[in-house]
């Protein structure tokens, strides 16, 4: 009986090995298409004409701030996504002006500006939320008469976008300072 079990174990090991090889082959067959555009930011070269100066010759940050159009350009570059850039810019101006936007106000914005609902709700708004420029909150309200649920949307500005990028920037500055300190000691 021990002899009968040995070939069975070998067969299981071979099958397991073949499965691992197939998985490896699958990994190699999948071609990388790069970073999906919905998960990326536009970062032109630091010395590009598209950017206003943000540092002096000694790599010290300057005190000037970029305006809303320049900041939105990192999320929806006017050069590559002019329509999305225009919609996002108009929406962000409205959000800054009002502070909080209800679903009705958002609907009015979309219809008054002749914006496609699909473009706004499927492309622009999700991206603004994903990068952390706006916060989307929903409330659940149940109508007493019909027992129907309503989930009105409320949109507010969010600091997450700035905090995220500041964390990246501060971490990089710490890495550079640490490296320069180490090289001076040597």
**For 22, what's the count of Cα atoms within 13 Å in the CB-facing half-sphere?**
6
Helix (H, G, I), strand (E, B) or coil at 137: strand
> Is residue 55, in this structure, part of any structural domain at all?
no
Report if residue 148 sits inside a domain: yes
Per the domain annotation, does 153 fall within a domain? yes
Residue 32 falls within a domain, yes or no?
A: no
* CA torsion, ordered 5, 8, 12, 17, to nearest 10 deg: 110
* CATH code, 81: 1.10.10
For residue 80, being part of any structural domain is answered with yes
Name which of 15-24, 29-38, 48-57, 165-174 the model is least confident about: 15-24
Q: Express each pLDDT in 34-81 by its tens digit.
A: 887 777 888 888 878 777 888 777 777 887 888 999 999 999 999 999
The predicted structure's pLDDT at residue 14: 56
Q: Looking at the domain assignment, is residue 102 inside a domain? A: yes
| Domain-embedded: residue 37 | no
Query: Does some domain include residue 120?
Result: yes
Q: Which domain holds residue 108?
A: 64-158
Q: How many domains does the chain have?
A: 1
């Amino acid at each position: 009986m021990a002899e009968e079990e040995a070939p069975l174990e070998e067969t299981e090991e071979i099958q397991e090995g073949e499965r691992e090889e197939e998985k490896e082959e699958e990994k190699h067959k999948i071609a990388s298409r790069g970073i999906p555009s919905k998960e990326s930011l536009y970062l032109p070269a630091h010395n590009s004409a598209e950017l206003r100066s943000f540092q002096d010759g000694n790599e010290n940050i300057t005190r000037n701030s970029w305006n809303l159009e320049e900041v939105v350009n990192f999320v929806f570059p006017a050069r590559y996504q002019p329509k999305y850039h225009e919609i996002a810019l108009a929406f962000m101006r409205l959000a800054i002006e009002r502070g909080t936007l209800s679903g009705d106000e958002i609907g009015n914005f979309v219809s008054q500006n002749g914006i496609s609902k699909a473009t706004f709700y499927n492309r622009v708004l999700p991206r603004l939320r994903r990068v952390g420029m706006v916060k989307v909150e929903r409330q659940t309200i149940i109508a007493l008469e019909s027992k129907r649920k309503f989930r009105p949307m409320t949109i507010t500005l969010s600091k997450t976008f700035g905090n995220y990028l500041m964390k990246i920037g501060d971490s990089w500055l710490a890495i550079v300072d640490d490296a320069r300190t180490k090289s001076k000691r040597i």
